[in-house]
Chains A and B, each alone.
Chain A
Amino acid sequence: MKNVVIIGNGVAGITCARELRKRDSSASITVISRESQYHYSRPALMYLYMGHMQWSDVMPYPADFWAKNRIELVHDTVVSCDTEIQTVTLASGATKTYTHLVLATGSSVNKFGWPGQDAKNVQGLYTLQDIESMETSTAECDRAVIVGGGLIGIEMCEMLLSRGIEVTFLVREAEYWNNVLPKEEAQLVSRHIGKHGVDLRLQTELAEIRTDTNNVAVGVRTKDGEKISCSFVGLTAGVHPNTDLAEQSNIDCGRGVLVNQYLQTNIPNVYAVGDCAEILLPGQTRGVVEQLWYTGKNQGIVAAQNICDANQLYERGIWYNSAKFMELDYHTYGQVPATSTDSTSLFWQCRNTEKCLRIAFDDQRRVTGFNSLGIRLRHKVCEQWIADGASLRLVVQQLSSALFDPEFSTDVVPDIVLSYNARATDPIPVPKRKNSFWSKLIPVK
């Protein structure tokens, strides 16, 4: 009988446990977490702070789900792991043996050796404990500085704004997230951030965090020498895999816990999934670390399948992701390089509202990816087009089948067709605008 121990109750670990139970009704399954008794949705943490939801709302499964599915939950810290005798030791002193071990230990906030980075009221945002400490350290705060222009940074800005705290956002790049987003999208998001009242400082890097005699943050100094006073500093310059436990336990690590395409470590009955895993393709020395909700979920499924001897390769498939920048919906499918230009993509931007769409294509004008802001796109349709190598013309022609905006939303298809026609030798008949009556009657920005 299998006796599986999973360390970490984030989405990767929990999906692995659920998939195991689906495939093997007799296996013993234990999930150990130092963070919380029950699994919760990590991306929902921000909504706790903003008062949109309560703790009970962010748990995807009811409390009795775990007993019903015979998944044992242990709220404790694993202090060591012995892969020889297949045992983990907990902080409480208890031990737990296993036949299969899954490491889903997640990641930690990056700190790049800034002076003052470990001072009070300086923190990142990853765990439930981070939200709790943010609650206390911003209780009296009226000005904060966020360092690092990624997805968590903008979330932290939004959180602080909801409490009426003024925010300065230091971003190293020329535009927000423009190492990922092409210039036009990055500019649109940067403008949106500014519109919400965030003091966005582009091409600005942190030099040090200034502290008082009690080691409490009182401000920052940028590399340009500017001093900004604040009583809270958010560090959001990415995350790195938690490998401490693996490193102590003769499990090979690189940047993350090294696994093959079956998500197996160098110890055959030990797997790693989610943020902490670094997937090595055969013949390569530097692997891929995928730190997304969706990839964590899929890796959890594959590890469970392989524990049940399915011999399943992990393949990421066609890339997709979504996010919300303040009030701006963002969907992306396939490959849209940050270096996209007019000759490698069709870009359309609405003149008077914050909406844009980019359709990237290859040298034979076959569509390779989509980026949309302020427009929701249908996953299955976009994925199919990319998989089929559909032509740009066909995609623009059938674009309305890919729209996922709420009913009565302004129909963007005619304008996109026009912008296609402006540069094409094979123009497409411009369709009649849907909802034009309502769009004229009720303008929505």
Chain B
Amino acid sequence: MPLQQSTSSFYASVFMQKNATGVALFVFGLVMFCAGSVGVFVDSPILFSLLSIGVATVGGLLVATSAFGGLAGVKNDGTMFASSKNRGAVGWLMGIVLTLFYVLLYWFPDTLQYMVQAADPVSYTLRGMPADRWFFYGLLYTIAILVMGLRFIGRNRHNRYQIIRTLSVMAFQTVFAFAIPAVLEALQKPYFDFKNVWPLDYDFFYSWHLNKLTSESTPFFAGLTLGEFMLYWGIAMIVIGIPVLTYFFGKRWYCSWVCGCGGLAETVGDPYRHLSDKSMTSWKIERWMIYSVLVLVTVMTVLVILEYVNPAEYSFAFSRSLRTFYGFAIGAAFSGVIGVGFYPIMGSRVWCRFGCPMAAILGLFQRKASRFRITVNGDQCMSCGNCSTYCEMGIDVRAYAQKGEDFTRASCVGCGICSSVCPRGVLKLENDSVATAPHNKTDR
């Protein structure tokens, strides 16, 4: 037997053992979370933090680094046989646990009052105050993106686009969603996530938020207070960032490079990307739903701004109930409970595909005014279906590829996995000017 073979199977077994140890440690960490939530570690927050967040992270890192085992290349062997990845018993169990966590987080936060103490040591260090549920959630969210981002890089290390894109979502989450807001809070400045743009950030124009941003008096930059700077930044992102960046790069500049929801989907959600429904029916439902949410958030925001400008004339009970409904149904239930809780059942981009109003706007620009497109290499497609299967947005990429037709779909977040898994080198994401790469845009 040649040496190569025995060494490669030796490494395979080492990585499998590492993976199994990682999973065991992760599960141990989860058990510690549960123990903590009933008050076992009330007097020892550091021990609690280490046993729960610490051990689960170490477990996650073992799993993530085992993705660097073997040779670089597409790593989908056995995906459809794995109970955890293909709606088997393990997948359903994970879906139920995740959904339950989100239900408690949004609607029964008291039940998590002890659990959130796991984030106390980090919270005191960064902000000088105990952790609340959102800091706790933000910390877990960030660690999850970093750990699973590492796994994604390991699995896609043959493709530099995937590596850079993943480093980008990891950095944006850590710096903009986690570190900067924590520092702002420590300095008693308004909480602000500079990459979270209306309409994803649906309460940006709420009066309490506008009041908070305009309540300061110390100048910070060019005669503006920090709050004013944040206000103008948020507006500039809407009127300049969205159309201009989307024109040059497509919606991916946000959805798969910057966004926090997208960041979670691309990393934690990666094992479930193939579970998105590819049928024409789901595409129809997708368009109805996502544009309905966009209309809803737009109407709500117009009413909110009117009320802010002239409360005497534009203070409607309807406007208040619309806000309550949106916060409950879209902000919590859709983006959180269903959006992430259902990862192992419906795939990683349920929220982005069916609900996110930001994705809806970016998608409209992408379809109508963008250089971004997916080009199809002549007549080389042999209809295998890898592209459609691994499209997290449920786009039937093969339908275009087998016709040899370049295309731009509103929902495409530009993750580039279709191109990566194609065994015939048929697909390429492009945003060069049309002159150097002739193409014709079509939509089915």
Contact = CB atoms under 8 A, between A and B. Distances in A.
Interface stretch (B138-146, B226-234, B373-381): B373-381
A376 B377 contact: yes
A194 B402 CA distance: 33
Given A327-B158, A404-B428, A43 B382 contact: yes
B8 interface: yes
Given A162-B78, A406-B161, A406-B416, A320 B378 contact: yes
A197 B425 contact: no
Interface in B135-164: 157-161, 163-164
Given A294-B379, A327-B71, A406 B429 contact: yes
Classify chain A's interface size: 35 or more
Contact of B4 (A194, A293, A376, A438): A194
Most chain A beta-carbon neighbours within 10 Å: one of B389, B423, B437: B423
Contacts, number: 152
Interface string B74-109: 101111111000000000000000000000000000
B255 to A, nearest CB: 16
B113 interface: no
Interface in A280-316: 293-294, 297
A285 to B, nearest CB: 31
Given A50-B77, A62-B280, A11 B157 contact: no
Which of A51, A198, A401: most chain B Cβ within 10 A? A51
Nearest to B423: A324
Nearest to B78: A51
Contacts of A166: 1, 5, 9
B12 interface: yes
B5 A199 contact: yes
Contact of A164 (B12, B79, B80, B160): B12
For this complex, into which size category does the number of interface residues on chain B fall?
35 or more
Interface stretch (A211-219, A336-344, A377-385, A421-429): A377-385
B5 A44 contact: no
A258 to B, nearest CB: 27
Nearest to B281: A62
A85 interface: no
Interface in B168-199: none
B386 A47 contact: yes
A1 interface: no
B366 interface: no
Contacts of B428: 376, 404-406
Contacts of A36: none
A387 to B, nearest CB: 13
A57 interface: yes
Nearest to A52: B76
B160 A444 contact: yes
B383 interface: yes
A164 B78 CA distance: 11
A129 interface: no
A379 B161 contact: no
A436 interface: no
Given A162-B78, A407-B161, A331 B71 contact: no
B72 A445 contact: yes
Interface in A40-59: 41, 43-44, 47, 50-54, 57-59
B298 to A, nearest CB: 33
Interface string B1-29: 11011001100100000000000000000
A293 B402 CA distance: 12
A164 B13 CA distance: 10
Interface of A: 11, 41, 43-44, 47, 50-54, 57-60, 62, 162, 164, 166, 194-199, 293-294, 297, 320, 322-324, 326-327, 329, 331, 376-380, 383, 401, 404-410, 435, 438-439, 442, 444-445
5 contacts: A62-B279, A162-B78, A198-B5, A294-B380, A406-B429
Interface of B: 1-2, 4-5, 8-9, 12, 71-74, 76-82, 157-161, 163-164, 279-280, 377-380, 382-386, 388-389, 398, 402, 416, 419-421, 423-426, 428-430, 436-437
Given A53-B80, A327-B74, A408-B160, 20 more contacts: A11-B383, A41-B384, A43-B384, A50-B76, A51-B77, A60-B383, A60-B402, A196-B8, A294-B379, A294-B382, A322-B426, A323-B423, A324-B425, A329-B424, A379-B377, A383-B378, A405-B428, A406-B419, A406-B429, A408-B164
* A-B pairs with lowest CB-CB distance, top 6: A379-B378, A327-B73, A376-B425, A44-B384, A197-B8, A60-B383
